[in-house]
Amino acid sequence: MTTPTLDDLKCARETNRRLMLALCGTCASVRRVVQPRGRDTRDETARLKCAECQRITVHALVTGSDHDEQIAAASLGMPTEEGAQNHSLMDRYRNGFTVNPNLRHWWSVTRATTARERGESTIRVYCGELVMLPAESEITMAAAGPVGPEGDTLDGRGYDPDDHGEWRSMDCTNCLRMLNHVRMIRRRERLLDLMAKVVADLHNPARVTAYDQHTEALIDALSAVRPEGQ
């Protein structure tokens, strides 16, 4: 029997929105299901009978909708539009699998300062992981993580399998993804603030002439992302 794929699921859901894929957490076999009983919508799992394992196991449910991607993103630190993070979801997501102990995590300096003032010993880093908060003197570049052995590198190309197994020292990619997201939001906010000031200046006779030498450059820059007529 051919293993169903995500593309197959998306096509089939056009006529049956209740259809989804179930991935066995023990043997990784995949099958189709329709609204399974005991579905846990918090982490999209269900306990189902696996044909390969010949017993009931925990299955991951895949709907092929944006909901799955939203849950995964929220579990790895992505905040809501209001800026809130679901810490319970983050912790449940990490239950059941081992995290690389040599990851170098990143966090907000402001959040670290607040945690230290409150006397807290842990901090929630950008990816959602809860890690121990080092002493202030140990923090460099707002990052935390064990320093690799001599000869080890953060890019992951060098490591000692005798001392560290197969774990490689490296930056946490989910932290970096969230850090870039935060920086992007801040740039957008800065741009919005500048645009508001520019619009106000263009309606102010006392300020509008200051833009005369830069009008063409501003028009070209804005037209590159917002062509005229669109």
Q: What is the DSSP letter of 210?
A: G
Q: Domain segments of the chain: what residues?
A: 6-64, 187-225
Q: Answer yes or no: are the C-beta atoms of 129 and 99 closer than 8 Å.
A: yes
The pLDDT confidence band at residue 81, using thresholds 50, 70 and 90, is: low
Strand partners, 32: 21
Mean pLDDT, the chain, integer? 78
108 vs 45: which has the higher pLDDT = 45
pLDDT tens-digit map of 88-147: 888 888 876 777 877 888 888 888 888 888 988 888 888 888 888 877 655 544 454 444
Query: How many Cβ atoms sit within 10 Å of the Cβ of residue 193?
Result: 10
pLDDT of residue 197: 93
User: Which region, left, alpha or beta, applies to residue 129 given φ > 0 means left and ψ of -120 to 50 means alpha?
Assistant: beta
Q: Shortest CA distance to 172 belongs to which of 65, 61, 94? A: 94
d(CA 20, CA 63): 5
CA distances from 228 to 18, 138, 208, 218 (A): 44, 52, 22, 13
Burial code (b: 16+ CB inside 10 Å, e: under 16) for 6-37 equals eeebeebeeeeeebbbbebeeeeebbebeeee
Inform me whether the pLDDT recorded for 203 exceeds 90: yes
Q: What is the DSSP letter of 65?
A: S
pLDDT score of 158 more than 60: no
Interval 16-27 mean pLDDT? 84
* The token pair that represents 113 in the structure block: 């300062």
Angle (CA) 29 92 69, round 5°? 65
Three-state secondary structure call for residue 140: strand
Q: Which two tokens stand for residue 219?
A: 């028009």
